[in-house]
Amino acid sequence: MTESPTPAEHWESQYAERAQRWSGRVNATTADVVRTLTPGDALELGCGEGGDAVWLAEQGWRVTAVDISATAVARGAAGAASRGIGDRVTWVSHDLSTWAPEGEFDLVTASFFHSTVELARTEILRRAAGRLRPGGHLLLVSHVFETVADIPPWALRHHGTVDPDDPALQAHMKALLTPSEEVTALALDPTHWVVVTQEIRTREATGPDGAETATVKDGVVLLRRR
Ligand SMILES: C[S@@+](CC[C@H](N)C(=O)[O-])C[C@H]1O[C@@H](n2cnc3c(N)ncnc32)[C@H](O)[C@@H]1O
């Protein structure tokens, strides 16, 4: 019997199978929200190949960017160095379920911090939120897949099925929380936290081949520490 891969093995193989997995650009919805904030110290959870972290640094943030995949983090660091902002991002290759952030931050951000393998998402988000300074923000931008029709065709193909009843697909969709479910799951004390934004936004997305497009839904949760 073959054992299931650990989360680190899973994500390493996801990145190793191609030279570049994501677009390299900042996530549009994340950028839209961050533009409303004043730059300071940012912690990015599940930074992947660093598209958001590099953009944040270019906007004046000092960034700590963490991902479980050493390959992804190395790509992010190379990208930051090539754009001349290598000194503004600290890259950390670690499993966030066992990583305790040091220091304090003005922004904790997580874009599409999802996984089809084990991920203690809410626990990780709560721990990171605890490192925010008063007035700091927690920003979560997430996929909202309420029905299979919400999933762009290229993501469905990557998942390996277009069968809406596929159990693995159903389990993945169920694990994705809507913004209101996310706020409930975080269970942050309202005496200390303000819900600034809790909404679903739609946008036109382009697939990895650069030609295919689809309308996608992004869940946005922005919380401010009082
Ligand atoms: C769907 S990708 C999103 C990547 C990036 N934020 C973006 O928007 O392009 C999820 C990321 O979370 C990372 N990840 C998953 N589980 C993790 C964990 N336990 N600790 C740290 N990173 C993790 C993966 O390696 C992957 O890069």
> What distance in angstroms lies between residue 40's CA and the mean position of ligand 1's atoms?
23
Which residues are CB-neighbours of 135 under 8 A, at least 6 positions away? 106, 224, 225
Residue pLDDT, tens place only, 17-57: 999 998 889 999 999 999 999 999 999 999 999 999 999 99
> What distance in angstroms lies between residue 18's CA and the mean position of ligand 1's atoms?
16
Q: Give the whole-angstrom CA distance, residue 132 versus residue 130.
A: 6
Phi/psi for 29 (5° steps) reads -70, -40
pLDDT given at position 39: 98
Substitution candidate for ligand 1 out of 47, 111, 139 with most atoms within 8 A of CB:
47
| Tokens read off for 98 | 């066992």
Given the CA of residue 11, which atom of ligand 1 is nearest to it?
A: 25
Ramachandran sector of residue 192 (left: φ over 0; alpha: ψ -120 to 50; beta: rest) = alpha
Contact 107, 43 (CB under 8 A): yes
pLDDT in tens, the chain (226 residues): 568 899 999 999 999 999 999 888 999 999 999 999 999 999 999 999 999 999 999 999 999 999 999 999 999 999 999 999 999 999 999 999 999 999 999 999 999 999 999 999 999 999 999 999 999 999 999 999 999 889 999 888 877 776 778 888 888 888 899 999 999 999 999 999 999 999 999 999 998 888 999 999 999 999 999 9
pLDDT given at position 69: 98
Give the Cβ contact number of residue 117 at 10 Å: 13
Would you say the pTM of this structure is higher than 0.75? yes
Substitution candidate for ligand 1 out of 22, 93, 94, 113 with most atoms within 8 A of CB:
113
In 3D, which of 140, 183, 148 has the Cα closest to residue 165?
Answer: 148
Phi/psi for 223 (5° steps) reads -115, 145
pLDDT given at position 2: 67
Ordered domains of the chain (ranges, CATH): 7-225 (3.40.50.150)
